[in-house]
Structure 1
Amino acid sequence: MYYLCAFNSNLSMLIALQDITFEFGARTIIKDSSLHIIPGDRIGLIGLNGTGKSTLLRIINGEYSISKGSVNKIRNLSLGFFNQDLLSFETDDSILNVGMTAFSEALKVEKELEELTEKLEHSQDEATLHAYSDKLHEFDILDGYNIRHKTATVLEGLGFTTADLERPYNQFSGGWRMRVLLARIILQKPDVLMLDEPTNHLDLPSIEWLEKYLSNYDGAVIIVSHDRYFLDRMVNKVVELYQQELHHYAGNYSDYEEEKVMRRELQQRAYENQQDYIKQQERFIERFKAKASKAAQAQSIAKRLDKIERIEQTDSGPSKIRMNFSVDKMPGKILCTLENVSKSFGSNTILKNTSAEINRGDKIALIGANGKGKSTLLRVIAGTEPFEGNRIPGHNVVTSFYAQHQLEALHMDNEILEELKGVGSGRTEVELRTLLGCFLFQGDDVFKKIRILSGGEKARVALGKVIIGQANFLLLDEPTNHLDMNSVEMLIDALGKYEGSLVLVSHDRYFVSKTANKIWEIVDGEIKEFKGNYTEWEEWKKRQALAAAPPKAEKKSPPIAQPVQAPQKTSIDKDLKRELQKQQKQAQQLEEQISKLKEQLKQLEADMANPDVYGDKQKFRNTEDAYKKANTDLTKANAEYEEVFEKVMELEEKMNG
């Protein structure tokens, strides 16, 4: 049952799930568990696939009814829920207009303004004019003049170009549509933002943009994600759904891992101590229950043991099964050489006269934004993509390529186990079923037909075929997309022991950091190689960015022993003073401009209320356009003034420093 109320005991509480139980048919998903959400919470909701994380979000969203407990929410709470089901949305409208639907109230007022404008062209009554003036004020309060700019900013932050904004939503693929829908939910700014696997459809720059945005988000955020880096940077609480219960941890994902190990150790020690105590008491009971002088004491101890709350032994946690790649033959020193490779799609140049070499032992990660050609380069390396230039394969190279398009190569009428047997790896059925268990196919799941599997399940089968294929050169395009954290860890472990070479594309920074020993980045059509892991590459990029940034002017006091340097100090002070005066003058000009624009807006509002103006159709339109332009100019001037003011403060600090 759901109760909507204000919480007298804690006014800052947004949502309280109290002792809830949720059952799906005969299966219990959540049992007697609680969760409280307050403003500022950044909650990482984790658990194995199929345990019910998305179900819990739907309970919070009001889609599912619980069988026991209560879900309490403050009045007028706004919720935003980003999930895969949103893909059912269809429209031919532009992605900019789809994003702008987040501002439904402002769009409604804008529509009413258009209707009133049309009415004023034919009627000059005072009531219509007042209604128009009220709506104009309301539109201004809703920041209606800036919704287009706000929407464009978020869409471009998520990877769209300015040219994309006017393209129809239905022209984009599923992954890009999900970005549009994510932008719309972000722009709504709900009190509680729930994100179910938000990074699945994002490239690295977009993930980094989302991290910066969420870091400054005013509301509470609940995130379901298998991206450890994302969780580490985003969350301040972790809630684990495990064995039908919600377990709470403070801190980010790394803190959770440490805390969980400590809790298990403490619980195991408590369990062992209790077992020792129970055995000791049972020996006493057994020894003295028949002895008259001790029988009453033995009976009392027996009753006490019956009432004792038993501590459970710690479970071993998720499966620690190992998956292993095997290599059939050793390749030569060089696996593939690319010479003067060029590749374009129409006017879009992906690769331009670039060369590279892949050596035995290389484990290369292709890094960069979507659209830069990472997957295209993988296909060029595999020899499945036409291009200009030369590709020279190495000696004894056996390649296995995992990508979404490889799903078409699966035999739809085969059972899962049968599909893996068909690879001819020589592995036993027990070994194959063990591997399928790593990829979340348990028990009779292995007998399911390929044709009835979801896209994610087919992807896991295809990855399983790659693992048992005995190739010495792997090409992996987003291999972790449909795996839970436990399976990702198994794959990392397997690739760490893999004796072959690989090139991979992945947006999972943790996965990349644990598997790659080289980084390739496509920059202006060229392959730029960095010899080192992802963490080292990130540090190198930061150093490069700092080196490229213009140096900040600093006021240095010359050493006493070298008075000859005093003129240099005077010169620096004069330069700072001139720059400060220049910025102060610009700030003064902007203040005057802002003042004039505010007066202009007041005058234009008065003009629109003048019967001589609203009675003349052309005059009214001209006045309305002038009002909109003045409002836009004021917003721009305020932004410029803030920038100049910050520069003035910085320069004054240097002068006084």
Structure 2
Amino acid sequence: MPSPLHLHVDGVSFSYPTHRVLTDISFSVPAGKVTGLIGENGSGKSTLLSLLSGRQRPDVGTIYTPPATGFIAQETSLPPRAPARALIEKSVEELRAIERTIEDLSARLDDPRCAELFDRALALAEEAGVWDLDARIATVLAGLGLGDVSLDTPLGGMSGGQRRRFALATLLLRPTDAMILDEPTNHLDDAGVDFLISELKASSGPVLVASHDRYFLDAVAHSLVDLDPALSPEGGDGDPLHQGTVYSGTFSEYLKARDDARRRWTDRYNAQEQERERLESRSRQTEEDIFHHDTPKAEGGKAKKFFADRAAKTQGNRVRSARNRLAALEREAIPAPPEPLRFQGMPDSRLTSLGEPVVWARGLGLHGRLAPLSVKIQPGEHVLVEGPNGAGKSTFLSIVEGSLAPDRGELRLAEDISIARLQQDDYWEDVSLTPLDLVGDIIVDMGLLTPAQASMPLDDLSLGQRRRVSLAQILRNPPDLLLLDEPTNHISLALVEDLERAVDAFEGTVLLATHDRWMRKTWLEHPRTRILQLEAESPSPR
């Protein structure tokens, strides 16, 4: 049996009526450690969290969780008209009860039994921080960006993001032996993420956190469980038998391990192909190449023929051996590793030589969505569009794309440029089409989908898989101007890294809007990057 303060998953598998989601998942989270759970949409993260919470039971395998394991509730059981104060008080009612117990026992200290219970309750109160509880509540609410929200606000009157942050606050305030969190950095700003990191690092119990936030994972996780197929010849084709690879170390170390695995796969494949070429060359030898049919007339010739025939027989055995080994190689051949993501070819453009801006805006704006801004963006620039929520980042990209009309100012685009946009969410008019219908073999060659997945209708694919189809469309037909709107949505963290490398080598012009802190940091470190800062009152590029 694992330690009662460990979280342990042993050989867990789970299937829905139509398909299997999890296969033979095993890992442990020790006390005082944080493990990240990663994998793109559809990989089984939500299902595994549901199994851990007890809402569902595994088909096979065993799950151990500490007695008091806390989850972020998707919905509160309190009515919408209940104030936020009721939610907070519900989460700390055990601690309030300790305080009431101490008050009650303090009036009966002349009874030796009460005195002993009083001492125990006092020690428990000290350990649990009961005396600082109100200050603790204020600290947690402020850290999660809720300090200005009145606790008298009805739950139903809050935004979805505020309710989610209050749910996270209740988990941090509640006494627990372990915590399980699902995308906890959603709706948190940078300061809120940093506060959460400090809270989880200080936790004494095991913590399992499912997240797509690379910055957060790199800062907080001691290990990672990857539900995407392993990057190897055996697990690289979507085989669910290779789910749940455990990586020790930070997210940065996980990336290094993935790169090492890719190199090992490439080395194995190259060695295999060299051996294949050698065996094919030997197997192509014919009988005429081996045996001599001319009969020498002299005795010396007969001796030469004897040794020649014996050598030919030996060589013939070698040819047959080579053919047998070649057949075995074909049966057990490992596939070629997926090609790195890359744009297939840039359109011919004279923009750079002419010195003409790709985008020229003067006083461009849309009432209530984008304050007037003026900017010139030159060919080949990579521009990070920054600004607080509501500043109009996506609105600006939509206006440049032509899907949204401004109500003020002027916008000019270079003549005859092609524009493509990777949007926050994908929309398809005909979901009966398959990825192969839309983009061809490129989606398989680059490892974006398996052949089986590429042959399925879009309607049967997950959000992450559909996102890969959109990505393949852009890679196959790269534009002059590429608009990336939250490009890391719905795709695996390893694929995001591949996409970033491809964009970094992209010769065209890029406008990027993202909340991804890791991606912003990476872009800001690159010399090609320019910042377009959008503000509520006076947006200005710099």
What is the TM-score of this pair, normalised by structure 1? 0.54
1:57 and 2:77 are equivalent in the alignment: no
Partner letter of residue 390 of structure 1? E
**Structure 1 counterpart of 2:92:** 103
Output the CA distance in 2 between the equivalents of 1:473 and 1:88. 48
Which of 6, 27, 36 aligns to 1:14? It is 6
Q: In the alignment, what sits opposite 2:322?
A: none
- Give the partner amino acid of 1:29: L
CA shift, 1:362, in A, is 1.4
Correspondence for 2:457 among 448, 452, 455: 448
Asked if 1 retains the 8 angstrom alpha-carbon contact of 2:52 and 2:65, the reply is: no
What corresponds to 2:396 in structure 1?
A: 377
Matches within 5 A, 1:117-516: 153-159=139-145, 162=148, 168-170=154-156, 174=160, 177-188=163-174, 190-241=176-227, 242=230, 243-244=241-242, 246-258=244-256, 319-320=338-339, 322-324=341-343, 326-330=345-349, 332=351, 333-341=356-364, 345=368, 351=371, 354-382=373-401, 384=404, 386-404=406-424, 407=427, 410-411=428-429, 413-417=430-434, 421=438, 429-431=440-442, 438=448, 440=449, 443=452, 446-448=455-457, 450=459, 461-468=469-476, 470-514=478-522
Hey, what's the Cα distance between the residues in 2 that align with 1:379 and 1:486?
Answer: 28
Structure 2 contact 262–337 (Cα < 8 Å) conserved: no
| Percent identity of paired positions between Structure 1 and Structure 2 | 26
Q: Determine if contact 2:532/2:541 at 8 Å carries over to the other structure.
A: yes
Q: 2-side partners of 1:263 and 1:162: how far apart?
A: 48
Output the CA distance in 2 between the equivalents of 1:172 and 1:487: 35
Aligned match of 1:526:
538
Root-mean-square deviation (CA, aligned residues, Å) is 4.8
In 1, the alpha carbon distance for the partners of 2:149 and 2:401 equals: 32
Change (3 A) 1:402 1:151: farther
Distance 1:48 1:262 in 2: 21
Q: Which residue identity lines up with residue 415 of structure 1 in the other structure?
A: S
Kept in 1, the 8 Å contact 2:374–2:540? The answer is no
Structure 1 portions without partners, runs of 5+ = 112-133, 273-312, 422-426, 531-657
Residue 487 to residue 88, structure 1, CA distance change in 2 (3 Å): farther
Answer whether contact 1:205 1:369 (CA < 8 A) is retained: no
2:71 maps to 81
Q: Deviations over 1:225-253 (max 9, x none)?
A: 33333222111223345544654443212
Q: Give the C-alpha shift of residue 480 in structure 1.
A: 1.0
SS at 1:190 equivalent: coil
Asked whether the 8 Å contact 2:42–2:463 carries over to 1, the reply is: no
Q: Given residue 448 of structure 1, which amino acid in structure 2 is its aligned partner?
A: P
- Following superposition, the deviation at residue 486 of structure 1 comes to 3.0
TM-aligned CA distance change 1:250 to 1:463, over 3 Å = closer
When residues 446 and 529 of structure 1 are mapped into structure 2, their CA distance, relative to the original with a 3 A threshold, is farther
Deviation at 1:334, TM superposition (A): 0.8
Q: Count residues with an aligned counterpart.
A: 438
* Cα distance, 1:251–1:323 mapped onto 2, change above 3 Å: same
Whole-angstrom distance in 1 between the partners of 2:517 and 2:145: 18
Where does structure 2 lack aligned partners over 5 or more consecutive residues?
101-117, 231-240, 272-331
Question: Which whole-Å deviations, capped at 9, do the CAs of 1:269-305 have from their partners, x for residues lacking one?
Answer: 9xx9xxxxxxxxxxxxxxxxxxxxxxxxxxxxxxxxx
**Structure 1 CA distance, aligned partners of 2:206 and 2:175?**
10
Secondary structure at 1:391 match in 2 = strand
Q: Give the Cα separation in 2 of the matches to 1:197 and 1:462.
A: 24
Range with bigger deviation, 164-173 or 481-490: 164-173
Q: Which has the higher contact order (CA 8 A, sep 6+)?
A: 2
Give the aligned partner of residue 286 of structure 2.
none
**Residue aligning to 1:24:** 15
- When residues 485 and 339 of structure 1 are mapped into structure 2, their CA distance, relative to the original with a 3 A threshold, is same
Tell me the CA shift for residue 506 of structure 1: 1.6
| Alpha-carbon distance in structure 2 between the residues aligned to 1:266 and 1:334 | 44
Q: 1:574-602, CA deviations, whole angstroms, 9 ceiling, x for partnerless residues? A: xxxxxxxxxxxxxxxxxxxxxxxxxxxxx
